[in-house]
Structure 1
């Protein structure tokens, strides 16, 4: 089997982001391989790697306080594609109205795709650690409050 082309890798990355923006537990894992792992870094965020099931559970909890979530490539940003290692690097921004106010964050996501280039095997997410460490406790509390209702 030949390596997937740049176009195939970019196409899958775009489908992955489009599905993510549907923001349902099912859609966020639609283009992930069964063994995909999602890792949030830096380590100071104290976030363990998550399987598809764990990540879908996180999204299910978040949708109680964050009904929509939109990721987009930063204006003027160009994805970096390495065909040999099947990696696509995206500079992204997010926006969401939440129960605790507007959520806007910035990330670099490094996606490693499957050998055929059709699924995501690994996600390494670099988040704005200052913003994330400030917002996560607020979001967690809002989710806990929503569950109590």
Structure 2
């Protein structure tokens, strides 16, 4: 049985992430699509396409060798939904990045655009790894600022 259009769209998003083609990732989202982070205790605001693109563009400078692996998929064709369990890996200045996501995506009638996105993230990674990564990124910014100051002399 051939995959549904919505499954093809979801798979295309994964492929675009693995190529770090952020424009392609966003191209599969409807203009009205919002990304909601969960658990809500994280306090992250929903992201429209512009905010989402800015967020995933930051991955390009943070992550090397970023890869998503789909470990499970549940598809609800009548209600135009797909839920994917993903493992993410990448190399960073703070060491190896390992994360788990659950993406709950809702699609338009054609299945070509994502109209709703709920993203569950690994709270342990957010709590333990992100502060280390932010610290390393600050060091990089400081070095870049020092180089910039030296160049203007």
Alignment TM class, shorter chain as reference: 0.7 to 0.9
Q: Is the 8 A contact 1:6 1:81 kept in 2?
A: no
Q: Shift of residue 90 of structure 1? A: 0.5
- For 1:81, the equivalent position in structure 2 comes to 75
Q: Shift of residue 17 of structure 1? A: 1.0
Structure of higher RCO (CA pairs closer than 8 Å, 6+ residues apart): 1
Deviations 1:28-58 (A, max 9, x none): 3121111211111101222111111111111
Q: Shift of residue 105 of structure 1? A: 0.8
- For 2:15, the equivalent position in structure 1 comes to 18
Which one of 110, 115, 122 corresponds to residue 121 of structure 1? 115
Tell me the distance in 2 between the aligned counterparts of 1:42 and 1:7: 29
Tell me the distance in 1 between the aligned counterparts of 2:137 and 2:30: 28
Secondary structure in structure 2 of the residue aligned to 1:35: coil
Unaligned runs of at least 5 residues, structure 1: none
2:30 is the alignment partner of 1:33: yes
2:53 is the alignment partner of 1:59: no
2:85 is the alignment partner of 1:91: yes
Q: Shift of residue 137 of structure 1? A: 2.2
Tell me the distance in 2 between the aligned counterparts of 1:30 and 1:137: 31
Higher helix share: 2
Number of aligned pairs?
Answer: 142
* Worse overlay, 56-65 or 5-14: 5-14
Tell me the distance in 2 between the aligned counterparts of 1:56 and 1:98: 20
Q: Shift of residue 139 of structure 1? A: 2.8
Secondary structure in structure 2 of the residue aligned to 1:124: strand
Q: Is the 8 A contact 1:64 1:143 kept in 2?
A: no
Secondary structure in structure 2 of the residue aligned to 1:12: helix
